[in-house]
Structure 1
Amino acid sequence: MQQVQSPQTAIKILVAIVAIWGILNARTILFPVIVAVVLTFILHPLVEFFVHTRCYPLKRTFSRTAAIFFSFLVAAGVFAVLITFVIVPFAHEFERFAVNLPNYMKQTQELIFHLQQSARQLELPDSLENLLREGMSEAAGYSVDLGRRFLSGTIGFATRVVDLVVVPVLTFYFLKDWMIIRDAFVKLVPAEQRTRVLRIIEDIGLVISGYLRGQIAVSAIMGVMVFVGMYAFQMNYALTIGLIAALTEFVPIIGPIIGSIPALLVALLVSPMLAAKVAIFYIIMHQVENHIIVPKIMGKSIDLHPVTVILAFLIGAQLFGLAGMILAVPVAAILKVLFYHVWDNK
């Protein structure tokens, strides 16, 4: 006989729906929390390292507060190095690109015109000729728009002074009092379900931490590889192209393709032969990424079927745009953990 749901259960479901709705509509408040959670997962191994490291002058291990403090110092040092050797040179390089942008657009238009003339000489169908012209125009426009959006997004992020204060504070307390926060949350569920909820939280933590660290490592490796490759080809804006490649790695499926567009356009403005070399370089590089780098680094941290990744990507893109594309894979992995625990305990 089917059990009738109690009014308390209905109230809990209603409260959960209202809470989810509130979270989805409180993006301004949610942003620093998400950033703090991401930093917590990234810094947690470093904090644990300091906690279990003996300080010889004091002849004892670090306290958790001291470990967090030293982890923040290491993170600040890494950030300072990135600003000095990556962000500042990138800003100068991008400024130089912006100054030369009118000339590049003129060269692109001339290239499109020559391609149109070649298409007419080959007597291609009108539909194919139009497709070629539109594709070149859209590719050029999209690469410029991508750079403009990235620059405006970087400036917008830097100007959020309140977030820059709130995020470190939240990160500190997440690192320091995570066990207290977790136990307080677990106490909200019935006693007989607490062990199960703890397992779910631990598994989700493993999935998120594995994904974040693995994805950051993959993005960094791919960015360096692209930079070295473009530098070897003696191309302009090698650092900018490498940074774009690293950032677009966070977008599944189409990210690497989008990241290759600026490199191909810059190479095409130099010579078709250079563009062909760059295209071959990207093809080989992504084969190495898919068959060597990703399996070695990501391992089983996500373990999602490719069809699941594609569906998650499409749904995320449709519902939340770029943010949905980036979050599609980790959210799908979290849902997999939840479904596993639900069906495994039926």
Structure 2
Amino acid sequence: MNFNPSKIDIFKKFILNNRFVIFLIILLLIGLNILVFKKVSFIFTPIVVFFQTVVLPIVLSAIFYYLFVPIVDYFERKGVKRIYSIIVLYLLIIGILTILIVSVIPLLRDQIMRLIVSFPHLVIDIERMIEQVIGSQFLNEVQQTLNFNVSDLAIQVSNQATTILNSTFTGIGNIIGSVSKTIMAIITVPFILFYLLKDGKKLPDYILKFLPTLMRSHTFTVLREMNKQISSYIRGQIVVSLCIGLLMLIGFLIIGLDYAPVLALIAGFTSIVPYLGPAIAITPALIIAIVTSPYMLLKLIIVWTIVQLIEGKLISPQIMGRNLHIHPITIIFIIIIAGNLFGVVGILLAVPGYAILKVITTHLFEYFKIRSQLYEDTKIEQPK
């Protein structure tokens, strides 16, 4: 069979040497792969179950690793073997947990039980306040002017709250259904963490052994940047949350707000979520302050403003810095999208996950610029 050389040249010119056509072919192949994988998705069920089983203990171990590894590294630089530092660290953690279980947890339990018992009374007080506001002459005039009914709005809010509450109970049911997985994850975390603290530094070299020699230097740079992004975020966010919780506890105790320890604990935990966390944290405190008195509400606003100023001007700039280089609006959208897709876990892992993807995407784009030669003055940046 004879081929016409001119037809081969035309094929090379308009097909093989045309980047746009090659790009479309690659997209077509990706789409076909996605279609095939979707049709045979049952084959990957064991893999999905495997990842669902190991993700939680690995994520928890990684968080504690980034939190404790600076301590182990410090004592190693002082001449103490890593295994001895890890054992002492474990004994210290056990001691702290024992103190918390004996002294702090009973106090929090009593506070939570009091809050649960008084919650119906808080709801009744809020309903009375709403009825007083709705029945006022001023509000009636405002409703007529703006052509809306506050009662209907209250009913809609109540319906939405009921829906959210039902969803919450459903979520709690799902959580209870997976208690065994959570318990197994918590049990395995100390063992995984021990070996991470002991041999974690060897992990990058072990991963690089599976890669071609020419790719190892650049891949090491990517891994180093990812490690820097994750470690700075996790350590910084946990320390900032602890500081916020402590400051809120001091402020709540000073103004005499009821259920101060529980509200401060909520503020500390929710502050792990950037930007959106503080808005969530203030909500229960606002409800209790409104029911208590207008004067208490004013004092709460003052305390919250002072804590936010201290956190924004002193704590976060010193601890977090600007290591992530992510715009606040971007972070908010990332958290909202991850929350809708993956729930609470998505909210907690949204920012570090985005930071990792950003590092990988940046380096892939640099590689594309070098290989495609579509950009002027493209130079290969040697890893430091």
TM range (shorter): 0.7 to 0.9
Corresponding residue for 1:171? 193
**Secondary structure class of the residue paired with 2:126:** helix
Q: Give identity over the alignment, percent.
A: 27
Distance 1:36 1:260 in 2: 30
On the 8 A contact 1:251/1:326 being kept in 2, the answer is yes
1:32 corresponds to 2:57: yes
Please tell me the residue identity of whatever aligns with 2:142: L
Q: What's the offset of the Cα at 1:122?
A: 4.2
How many angstroms does 1:166 deviate by?
Answer: 0.7
Alignment of 1:198 with 2:198, yes or no, is no
Q: Distance in 2 between matches of 1:20 and 1:176?
A: 33
Equivalent-residue separation in structure 1 for 2:274 and 2:332 (angstroms): 8
Which residue in the other structure is 1:185 paired with? 207
Distance 1:256 1:88 in 2: 26
How far apart, CA to CA, are the structure 1 residues paired with 2:48 and 2:107?
Answer: 38
Deviation of residue 90 (structure 1)? 1.1
Q: Name the SS of the counterpart of 1:219 in structure 2.
A: helix
Look up the match of 2:148: 127
Q: Does residue 283 of structure 2 align to residue 258 of structure 1?
A: no
User: Normalising by structure 2, what TM-score?
Assistant: 0.74
Q: CA deviation at 1:339?
A: 2.4
Q: What is the deviation of 1:196? A: 1.2
Deviation of the 1:321 alpha carbon: 2.2
2:71 maps to 46
Tell whether the 8 Å contact from 1:116 to 1:133 is kept in structure 2 after alignment.
no
Which residue identity is paired with 1:33? I
Preserved contact between residue 276 and residue 332 of structure 2 (Cα < 8 Å) = no
Shift of 1:149: 8.3
Aligned AA for 2:64? L
SS at match of 2:141: coil
3-state SS of the aligned residue for 2:119?
helix
CA deviations over 1:9-59 (Å, ceiling 9, x no partner): x9xx999x9999946983233111111111111111111122222xxxxxx
Structure 2 counterpart of 1:334, one-letter code? I
Q: 1:180/1:285 Cα in 2 relative to 1: closer, same or farther (>3 Å)?
A: closer
- Report what 2:128 is aligned to: 110
Give the equivalent residue in structure 2 for 1:88. Answer: 106
Match of 2:210, SS state, is coil
Q: What displacement does 1:101 show?
A: 2.1
- 8 Å Cα contact 1:313-1:325 kept in structure 2: yes
Of 177-186 and 28-37, deviating more is: 177-186
Q: Tell me the CA shift for residue 285 of structure 1.
A: 2.5
AA partner of residue 338 (structure 2): G
Partner of 1:312: 334
Q: What corresponds to 2:5 in structure 1?
A: none
Indicate conservation of the 8 Å contact 2:257/2:296, yes or no: no
Q: Would you say the 8 A contact 2:331–2:351 is kept in 1?
A: yes
Deviation, structure 1 residue 273: 2.6
Q: Distance between the aligned counterparts of 2:328 and 2:336, measured in 1? A: 12
TM-score scaled by length of structure 1:
0.81
Match of 1:66 among 71, 75, 84: 84
Change (3 A) 1:161 1:319: closer
CA contact (8 A) 1:42 1:213 kept: yes
Please give the alpha-carbon distance, in whole angstroms, between the structure 1 residues aligned to 2:123 and 2:320. Answer: 39
Equivalent residue number for residue 56 of structure 1? none
Separation in 2 of the partners of 1:263 and 1:138?
21
Deviations 1:146-187 (A, max 9, x none): 89989x979x87994422321111111112222333222222
Query: Are the structure 2 counterparts of residues 25 and 40 from structure 1 closer, same or farther at C-alpha, using a change threshold of 3 Å?
Result: same
Distance 1:32 1:255, change over 3 A: same
Note the alpha carbon deviations across 1:92-150, whole angstroms, 9 max, x for none: 2101211222222222222222222237754232636244675589789979x989989
Structure 2 unaligned residues grouped into runs of 5+: 1-16, 371-384
Q: Which amino acid aligns with 2:315?
A: I
Tell me the SS of whatever aligns to 2:136.
Answer: helix
Q: Secondary structure, in 3 states, of the residue corresponding to 1:289?
A: helix
Counterpart-to-counterpart distance in 2, 1:101 and 1:265:
10
Structure 2 residue 237 is the aligned partner of structure 1 residue 212: no
Q: Secondary structure at the match of 2:326?
A: coil
- Checking the alignment, whether the CA contact within 8 Å between 1:112 and 1:136 is kept in structure 2 is no
1:294 to 286, 303, 316: 316
